[in-house]
Structure 1
């Protein structure tokens, strides 16, 4: 079986080249062709020796993900549904803003954490994605967008691992993908512009701090263990005290001097003034000086199975004011892509009915397997 080169970070690709009897610098050339230029065939790599291209043709390939569907929101948000085989699909979302372009990337097909307010968790867990499947979402989106927008400069400036799945429960595949994103020969993103969101897998937070520290967002959603046990089942294994201590340890290595706490606002559940006061006490208990965290209040995106309701905007703003008045940096997330179910917590989409997903994939597959191959060649199927 030939190797998919999307699975390799630069060091992995260098080792692969050495096994072929080639110099390590060939890996840098390959890496640039694949990630910076979007090449999907070795014939395009004109500065590689013909003998190397012939070796690669028999030992390797560059294979992205089939696109099942693409939806574009009225606000410019784009959601792709990607086929990952065996009746499974994952979603990625591009969010354009004036000063940045953010891609929300999935790390698993489904999710095993089962947070009450997240529709992805309600579909169940299928499997971890490979490094190549994680990076293929960025590879495709970046080069599709360059063609779609008629630009050659980089479109995606930020990546958030906030799509389907718990990234830190797929650690071994996540780390090489992060390294590809950060590599100057790949996508050249800064550590501050790549964010891993976790529901609180404490041991893996410590490993991430050592192996590949990027910006960290923690799905908190409750100020005490009793409530968080109900909303985020993982809290029963790693309670708030352990989670907050891990956050402080992470700050010693993080590219930012704060942790972002995500807090989904649920009407009558976690949005009362006493909950805000408990959060203030919690933050102060673990503060080691200065601003060490910020809160991002997230409007809940309802789905029938949850039994939960979105907090009224007035309640969200009142909650934010209590935190802000206490000196805690607090933002209220603006929802994007609501009309295409691309907002936070909604990424389950066409995967909800798992018994029919294989049928849909067969019927709907649009073969946009590869992004723009070069400046002059359009991707197939466009």
Structure 2
């Protein structure tokens, strides 16, 4: 049986969104994602229903297509393209059930004897008339990009596709999805005229994609160094995107009266949570999460509070703090020695302190301009391009691109497949 994936959302500010609704074709729309239910064509699919989007009120709430994402504000009938320079429209979405789950788990340990506790007690109850503090929003362009990333991941999930190829196949497939995103981000920031809102849509999308259970599968793969380099470049992309926002006077805390990027705090928080997910599983052996303290410093300089998810500061604030010289990582570096021969006549062996910049560390030139990004992306791509290709990413791990004969070879319980 395909495993159930952790999707983006499961509850929302309005109680009427908590139950599945019927589509125009009479099929029940899922309230949470699974291997069979992904977020697909939600903006366009909403036009297929019987409801008129133009009559959609501020206090109503509806499913977006076949997705578990629900919109709690009126949609623009002509949504902006990803490259639009106009200020984007934000959609209110439901609080992700993985965030609710973290609260439920926490409360279960704090009050294990409370039998009256229900999932509804953990839904963030935002007023339908005043949602200025509701963290969970996304632009329409960001939502469409997120849908693409989740669909790419599903296509590379051997479990969901009923195949068994080898242990880490899906992990490499997810890395391919992230590489595709890095390539798209590079395209976006390399345009002659860069749209800061298009760049923000890219960052929104990947910040939410990096919360899905697919990421845990990715982290379990056996290419620790390669994945660490990818994570480091994701951080570089974030800092580059924020540099672009700053150049357009958009790197500011959101204030309802002044407008701006209303989800900037929660998007940055999700990037930090992503880094924490990696360090919890694999640690930080190559300096791949050094971008997190830099993010904290940049946010502080621009008066942006990184927050939004359950107990963010309690669980993740330490990652944002500058690394001290007394940290275990730096202590390890201080203890490292290397041996070389002195230049003396007798060639006496000498023990000399290793270079403070460990040879194994992933290099970061500290340049978060577009030029600095391009240099880092070029270096990364050179080391990650697979044989016979001209760029990173692609569809090598996309199972839907396989022929029927190839699929039959790996089909679970099939004529030539594996049995359990």
TM-score if structure 2 supplies the norm length?
0.29
Which structure's residues are more often strand, by fraction? 1
Larger Rg over CA atoms: 2
TM-score if structure 1 supplies the norm length?
0.31
